[in-house]
């Protein structure tokens, strides 16, 4: 019998708060107490395999198996605590259906076990034939924010420096791309200027569409600890529906989906109107700009003030569903010069057709008040995958990127990487030679047959892509040659021609990079089951079979991950992204880049903390990602959503996650305790909308959009409380593919899809 979600969440919170050193789950091989551990158990450190918080775990092994997991008390991230998923780290490796042998699809559609030699020879031969016939862009790699740094770097080097194609994308395009472009447009360099230390000294926390209690529980725990230490600390939570974070917040404010553009501009208007902006900081350290049809232009301060007059609290209150008095009061709290402020956000802001603009507005508020690049003051984007930052963003495993914020469109950047890779000039293709295709565009090409093959690694796109019906139909009907590397069967392996069993987490060596720019190393501690191999080994072996031995010399064997990391580190030096040495990572619980002479950087752009700031910087502040050292305050107007409720489709649909399951559930659903607590995805309805549809808890309801439909069970009496007119559905359940319903609209600057807003109707099934 499943545990009601409300009960489980409260229990999990208690466990996370009080069980720092005891494993959460008991099994025949997972000890409940340290006294019961085998006498030969050995402990070692590793960052958590799940979200981008980068919590530290300690792993005990004995006789080739993990026998216990506990929070790492030496980790500066989580300080000995783990959430429910973290305590299930070991169990995720031991599901009964682990993939242990390569498999090749037969003519009748069944899969047959194969040797590694057979599987890799087939891939190498097929890719060489496709490239010979249709050119380098006939093949592609679709990776993940779960890739280790060596895995992503190997894929990047192989496809761009060897094959000569820009057909490389990660699933991080679906979750963090708007944050990336937001940082780049504001500061000229990616990733937050602050760090988790800000959570320990801030006075006010503004959570903008970030359900931290469920999605980043250990970081939320740090905020709660800060509040416990000082009763004057306030947590202000903005969302489109109610969730577990509400219980820890001082104020919870619901707003109408997509109206965050109104809300944030109204905050800026209040700051100006009430003289709560730091005009000296603005003049010395920022430019004010707006987009035009031909690019972007500079605005004067007076022009920006005039722009904000369209967003007074009185004008926007009715649009967003909040009172003008609340908007004004909260903005004044933000602008209080005596208070430190941290803003956090995640998918609620990023998965948005104007996600970049929303991100820019967060930065605007901090720049306007000077609350940036100093302790307790930070605009901080939270990351959903363990190395979406360290691998996708920093290594640059996107179609348009190269390591350390370099771009394939920039000839100088291509030349710099070619020199490090010891390749002839012109080897890395420009966008003219190999057109760029972001994730959904790439899958559109795969479905249409214009790209002939894809290697999917550490991702489950046939469950996670938006407007999934259209993609699946094309893949199913076409002649796509698909390779899938994974640890378990997924919706995506169903469509594979070759399935490769992958090692996971501490079954291999690797490095992850978390949300605060912290790069962390972990050792291989146990062997993977059966014939499973690391994704790095798989890429390198096929590359060598195709003749790209020069990219991955045999001399690297035995220390492949170390050598890949060391070469990647060379790409970062002198770019303000300098990462730590391999030896320093092994010896520490991670270091935050830029790491200069072995010293990490907590707060960037401030000479008190950041040695990269030049001696001539005004007041010691230099936003060195921009050539003039100034950040940008962007005028970002409201823009209507791509789709809104109508008479035929009267409800908003929002999709996301729940505490105990992670992404598509591939790993967490193999942890019995997590799966039993929430065994299926439910549709969360308000009581009024349930009554209108004639349904109650436990009934089945059909959710339909213009793209597709899905049938699932109703939940109204639970922790997740949605307002009238909105329904929420998590996407972890492969038996209920809610992404069949979701629209495929993307932000025009980041190309990130909007999973948070589409129009649906419901009816009793």
Residues tagged active-site: 85, 175-176, 347, 384-385
Helical residues (DSSP H) of 217-285, grouped into ranges: 217-229, 260-273, 279-285
- Residue 432's contacts (CB-CB under 8 Å, 6 or more residues apart) are none
Helical residues (DSSP H) of 286-428, grouped into ranges: 301-308, 313-320, 324-335, 347-350, 355-369, 411-420
Question: What does the block give as tokens for 728?
Answer: 């929420």
| 526-530 contacts, C-beta under 8 A, 24 or more apart | 526/61, 526/64, 526/65, 526/66, 527/64, 528/501, 528/502, 528/503, 528/504, 529/98, 529/100, 529/501, 530/98, 530/99, 530/100, 530/101, 530/501
Running DSSP on this structure, what letter comes out for residue 391? I
CA separation, residue 144 to residues 93, 170, 436, 532 (Å) = 19, 4, 18, 19
Q: Please, are residues 594 and 577 in contact by the beta-carbon 8 Å criterion?
A: yes
Helical residues (DSSP H) of 626-686, grouped into ranges: 672-677
DSSP letters spanning 489-529: --TTGGG-SEEEEB--GGGS-EEEE-TTSEEEEE---SPPS
> In angstroms, what is the C-alpha Rg of the chain?
25
Distance of alpha carbon 30 from alpha carbon 37, whole angstroms: 9
Ramachandran category for residue 364: left, alpha or beta (phi over 0 → left; psi -120 to 50 → alpha): alpha
Buried-exposed string 169-201: b where 16+ CB fall within 10 A, e elsewhere: bbbbbbbbbbbbbbbbbbbbbbbbbbbbbbbee
Q: Please, are residues 546 and 126 in contact by the beta-carbon 8 Å criterion?
A: no
Q: How are strands ordered across the β-sheet holding 168-170?
A: 111-113, 103-105, 498-501, 481-486, 453-457, 141-143, 168-170
Q: What is the 3-state secondary structure (H, E, C) of 669-722?
A: HHCHHHHHHCCCCEEECCHHHHHHHCCCCCCEEEEECCCCEEEEEEECCCCCEC
Running DSSP on this structure, what letter comes out for residue 482? E
Distance of alpha carbon 209 from alpha carbon 349, whole angstroms: 6
Buried-exposed string 231-268: b where 16+ CB fall within 10 A, e elsewhere: eebbbbbbbbbbbbbbebbeebbbbbbbbbbbbbbbbb
Residues in a beta bridge with 727: 653
Kindly give the pairing relationship between strand 682-684 and strand 709-715.
Answer: parallel
CA separation, residue 497 to residues 201, 454, 549 (Å) = 53, 10, 25
Distance of alpha carbon 270 from alpha carbon 282, whole angstroms: 16
Q: If you count DSSP H runs as helices and E runs as strands, how many of each does the chain have, helices first? A: 23, 29
Question: What does the block give as tokens for 292?
Answer: 């035009």
Q: Please, are residues 173 and 751 in contact by the beta-carbon 8 Å criterion?
A: yes
Tokens 């590694």, residue located? 116
Q: Which of 587, 623, 630 is nearest to 603 (CA)?
A: 623
Q: How are strands ordered across the β-sheet holding 518-522?
A: 510-513, 518-522, 591-592
Cβ count near 106 (within 10 Å): 9
Tokens 């920022």, residue located? 286
**Residues constituting the chain:** 765
- Residue 563's contacts (CB-CB under 8 Å, 6 or more residues apart) are 556
Distance of alpha carbon 653 from alpha carbon 352, whole angstroms: 13
């Amino acid at each position: 019998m499943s545990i009601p979600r409300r009960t489980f969440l409260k229990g999990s919170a208690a466990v996370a708060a009080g069980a720092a050193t005891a494993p959460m789950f008991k099994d025949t091989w997972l000890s409940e107490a340290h006294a019961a551990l085998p006498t030969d158990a050995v402990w070692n450190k590793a960052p958590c395999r799940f979200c981008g918080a980068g919590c530290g775990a300690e792993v005990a092994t004995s006789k080739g198996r993990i026998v216990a997991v506990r929070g790492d008390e030496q980790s500066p991230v989580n300080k000995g605590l783990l959430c429910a998923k973290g305590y299930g780290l070991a169990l995720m490796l031991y599901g009964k259906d682990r993939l242990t042998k390569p498999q090749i699809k037969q003519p009748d559609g069944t899969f047959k076990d194969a040797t590694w030699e057979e599987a890799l020879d087939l891939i190498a031969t097929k890719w060489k034939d496709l490239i010979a016939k249709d050119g380098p862009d006939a093949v592609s790699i679709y990776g993940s924010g779960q890739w280790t740094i060596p895995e992503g770097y190997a894929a990047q080097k192989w496809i761009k420096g060897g094959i000569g194609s820009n057909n490389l994308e990660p699933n991080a395009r679906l979750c963090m791309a708007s944050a990336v472009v937001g940082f780049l447009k504001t500061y000229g360099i990616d990733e937050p200027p602050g760090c988790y230390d800000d959570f320990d000294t801030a006075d006010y926390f503004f959570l903008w569409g970030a359900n931290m209690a469920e999605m980043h529980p250990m970081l939320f725990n740090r905020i709660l600890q800060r509040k416990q230490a000082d009763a004057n600390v306030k947590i202000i939570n903005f969302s489109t529906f109610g969730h577990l974070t509400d219980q820890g917040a001082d104020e919870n404010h619901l707003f109408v989906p997509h109206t965050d553009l109104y809300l944030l501009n109204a905050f800026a208007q209040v700051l100006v109107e009430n003289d709560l902006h730091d005009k000296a900081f603005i003049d010395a350290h920022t430019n004010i700009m707006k987009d035009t049809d031909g690019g972007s232009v500079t605005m004067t301060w007076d022009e920006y003030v005039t722009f904000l007059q369209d967003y007074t609290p009185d004008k926007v209150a009715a649009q967003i569903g909040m009172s003008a008095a609340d908007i004004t009061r909260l903005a004044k709290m933000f602008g209080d010069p005596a208070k430190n402020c941290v803003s956090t956000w995640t998918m609620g802001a990023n998965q948005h057709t104007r996600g970049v603009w929303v991100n820019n507005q967060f930065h605007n508020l901090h720049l306007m008040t000077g609350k940036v690049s100093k302790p307790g003051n930070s605009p901080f984007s939270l990351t959903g995958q363990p190395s979406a930052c360290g691998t996708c963003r920093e290594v640059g495993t996107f179609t348009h990127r190269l390591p350390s914020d370099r771009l394939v469109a920039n000839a100088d950047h291509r030349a710099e990487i070619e020199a490090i890779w010891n390749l002839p000039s012109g080897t890395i293709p420009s966008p003219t030679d190999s057109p760029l295709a972001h994730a959904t565009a790439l899958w559109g090409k795969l479905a249409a047959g214009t790209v002939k093959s894809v290697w999917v690694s550490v991702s489950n796109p046939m469950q996670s892509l938006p407007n999934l019906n259209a993609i699946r139909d094309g893949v199913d009907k076409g002649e796509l040659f698909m390779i899938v590397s994974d640890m378990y069967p997924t919706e995506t392996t169903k469509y594979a021609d070759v399935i490769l069993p992958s090692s996971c987490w501490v079954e291999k060596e690797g490095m992850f990079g978390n949300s605060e720019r912290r790069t962390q190393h972990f050792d291989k501690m146990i062997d993977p089951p059966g014939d499973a191999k690391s994704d790095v080994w798989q890429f390198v072996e096929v590359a060598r079979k195709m003749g790209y031995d020069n990219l991955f010399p045999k001399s690297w064997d035995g220390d492949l991950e170390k050598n890949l990391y060391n070469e990647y580190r060379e790409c970062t030096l002198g770019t303000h992204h300098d990462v730590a040495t391999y030896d320093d990572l092994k010896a520490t619980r991670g270091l935050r880049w830029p790491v200069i002479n072995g010293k990490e950087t907590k707060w960037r752009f401030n000479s008190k903390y950041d040695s990269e700031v030049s001696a001539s910087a005004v007041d010691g502040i230099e936003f060195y990602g921009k050539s003039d050292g100034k950040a940008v305050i962007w005028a970002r107007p409201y823009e209507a959503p791509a789709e809104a409720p109508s008479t035929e489709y009267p409800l908003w649909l929002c999709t996301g996650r729940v505490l105990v399951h992670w992404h598509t559930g591939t790993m967490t659903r193999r942890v019995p305790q997590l799966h039993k607590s929430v065994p299926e995805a439910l549709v969360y309805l308000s009581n009024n909308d349930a009554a209108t549809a004639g349904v109650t808890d436990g009934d089945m309801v059909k959710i339909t959009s213009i793209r597709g439909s899905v049938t699932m069970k109703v939940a109204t009496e639970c922790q997740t409380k949605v307002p009238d007119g909105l329904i929420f559905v998590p996407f972890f359940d492969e038996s209920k593919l809610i992404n069949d319903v979701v629209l495929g609209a993307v932000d025009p600057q980041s190309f990130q899809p909007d999973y948070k807003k589409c129009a649906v109707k419901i009816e009793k099934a």
